[in-house]
């Protein structure tokens, strides 16, 4: 059986360019509906090791959740370079850009 961490890593690796997923959405798909904060910790500690497209993960409001100014701009520029347009300074339209992978239960 795969661990929650392994499932989170696999889900994040599959987010295509020009799309985003939310922390909570990833947690639900990985089997822990209340594990959004754990997804944040996994991204923080494992993005480099697994070359995760961390910039494609945002909060449930469609906003960049990073408070550090430099990382905020890196994430925003990375998303814009993939064709994602921002509504205002830090939010995007999830109806347009949110990725909805096929859930394992639907296969």
Q: The domain spanning residue 59 has which CATH number?
A: 1.10.10.10
Q: Do residues 39 and 57 lie in contact, with contact meaning Cβ atoms separated by under 8 Å?
A: yes
How many domains are there within the chain? 1
Taking 50 as the pLDDT cut, the residues of the chain under it are 105-107
Instruction: Give the C-alpha separation, 1 to 43, whole Å.
Output: 21
- Look at residue 59 and tell me if it is in a domain: yes
- Look at residue 107 and tell me if it is in a domain: no
Instruction: Give the C-alpha separation, 75 to 73, whole Å.
Output: 5
Domain that holds residue 35: 4-99
Q: Enumerate the β-bridge partners of residue 21.
A: 57
Q: Quote the pLDDT of residue 44.
A: 93
pTM of the model: 0.91
- Look at residue 65 and tell me if it is in a domain: yes
């Amino acid at each position: 059986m795969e661990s929650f961490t392994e499932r989170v890593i696999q889900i994040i690796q599959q987010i295509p360019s020009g799309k985003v997923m939310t922390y909570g959405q990833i947690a639900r798909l990985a089997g822990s509906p209340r594990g959004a904060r754990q997804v944040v910790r996994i991204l923080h500690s494992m993005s480099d090791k697994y070359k995760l497209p961390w910039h494609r993960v945002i909060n449930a409001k469609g906003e960049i959740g990073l408070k550090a100014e430099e990382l905020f701009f890196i994430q925003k520029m990375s998303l814009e370079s993939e064709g994602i347009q921002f509504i205002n300074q830090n939010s995007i339209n999830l109806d347009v850009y949110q990725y909805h992978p096929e859930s394992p239960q639907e296969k």
